[in-house]
């Protein structure tokens, strides 16, 4: 084998190895935790906002412009999204959205902003109502006067 | 929170009816949550015997706070 052939083989081998490394090295995750203040800036910049809470939670109040994609639909719906489009993800407290960020990072989304403290930390307007603590008393359909008092607990998986 | 709620449910059996909903899986719970305008989970809504709302607590609350509210129900 002459010297020229050796050089050609060496270059070819280097190219193959380089391409292989690029193909099999996981892309660095573009996920980053952001504060409520930074999230407000991102919303103002028209970054796509995804609320992964339930529809009931979403309807009660959400960040203006947010789309509701509950966790059980996230993988399916995100399959049709543009991987290069930045996303701002949030839930109530940051627990579910942390899972969402892992799913989206694994799917290859390049830029993910995570409101890690959840909508509880959100300082801006919400599109529908605010926390209604202290709201007027209401009577539930199945609450018959004279029965025992009732505690309603609204939760997700604890 | 679940162990705390389970313990209180046992302790207040016959005195306070606990209605616990996973709003991700229960349409009824989700609808009730909407009707109360609750935004966050967990939310605890306390109702007196006559159906009037005695108050609510939101988030990870201390057992003593829950107990205090339960004791105040009429």
Asked if A50 contacts A100 with a C-beta cutoff of 8 angstroms, the reply is yes
Whether A139 and B2 lie within 8 Å, measured CB to CB: no
What is the b/e burial string over B33-43, where b = at least 16 CB atoms within 10 angstroms of the residue's CB?
bbebbbbbbbb
Torsion B11-B12-B17-B19 (CA) sign: negative
> Which helix (H) or strand (E) is A50 found in, with range?
strand A48-51
- Marked catalytic residue, from A36, A69, A78, A91: A91
pLDDT of residue A14: 63
- A with B: how many residue pairs have Cβ under 8 Å apart? 154
Q: Which domains does chain B have, with CATH numbers?
A: 2-72 (3.40.30.10)
pLDDT under 70: residue ranges of chain B: none
A contacts of B70 (beta carbons < 8 Å)? 149, 151
pLDDT of residue A75: 92
Instruction: Spell out the domain ranges in chain A.
Output: 28-121
Asked if A87 contacts A113 with a C-beta cutoff of 8 angstroms, the reply is yes
Question: Is A91 among the catalytic positions?
Answer: yes
> Which site among B11, B27, B41, B53 would you substitute to test the A interface, given the most A Cβ atoms closer than 10 Å to its Cβ?
B41
Each residue's pLDDT, cut to its tens digit, for chain A (158 residues) gives: 676 776 667 766 665 655 544 444 434 458 999 999 999 999 999 999 999 988 878 877 889 889 999 898 899 899 989 999 999 999 988 889 999 999 999 999 999 999 999 988 887 777 753 333 333 334 454 555 567 899 999 988 75
pLDDT of residue B65: 92
pLDDT of residue A13: 67
Asked if B18 contacts A153 with a C-beta cutoff of 8 angstroms, the reply is yes
A contacts of B61 (beta carbons < 8 Å)? none
Domain A28-121: homologous superfamily in CATH: Rhodanese-like domain (3.40.250.10)
Q: Residue A134, by phi and psi: left (phi above 0), alpha (psi -120 to 50) or beta? A: left
């Amino acid at each position: 084998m002459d010297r020229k052939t050796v050089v050609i083989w060496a270059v070819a081998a280097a190219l193959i190895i380089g391409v292989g490394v690029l193909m099999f090295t996981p892309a660095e995750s573009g996920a980053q935790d952001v504060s409520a203040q930074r999230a407000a800036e991102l919303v103002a910049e028209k970054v796509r906002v995804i609320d992964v809470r339930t529809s009931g939670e979403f309807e009660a109040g959400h960040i203006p412009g947010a789309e509701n994609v509950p966790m059980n639909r996230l993988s399916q719906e995100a399959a049709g999204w543009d991987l290069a489009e930045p996303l701002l993800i949030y839930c109530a407290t940051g627990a579910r959205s942390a899972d969402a960020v892992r799913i989206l990072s694994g799917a290859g989304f390049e830029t993910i902003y995570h409101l890690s403290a959840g909508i509880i930390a959100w300082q801006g307007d919400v599109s529908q109502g605010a926390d209604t603590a202290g709201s007027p008393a209401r009577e539930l359909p199945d609450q018959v006067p004279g029965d025992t008092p009732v505690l309603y607990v609204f939760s997700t998986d604890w | 929170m679940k162990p705390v709620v389970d313990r209180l449910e046992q302790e207040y059996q016959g005195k306070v009816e606990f209605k616990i909903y996973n709003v991700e899986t229960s349409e009824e719970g989700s609808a009730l949550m909407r009707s109360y305008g609750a935004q966050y989970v967990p939310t605890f809504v306390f109702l007196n015997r006559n159906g009037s709302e005695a108050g609510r607590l939101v988030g990870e609350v201390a057992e003593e706070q829950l107990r205090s509210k339960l004791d105040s129900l009429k």
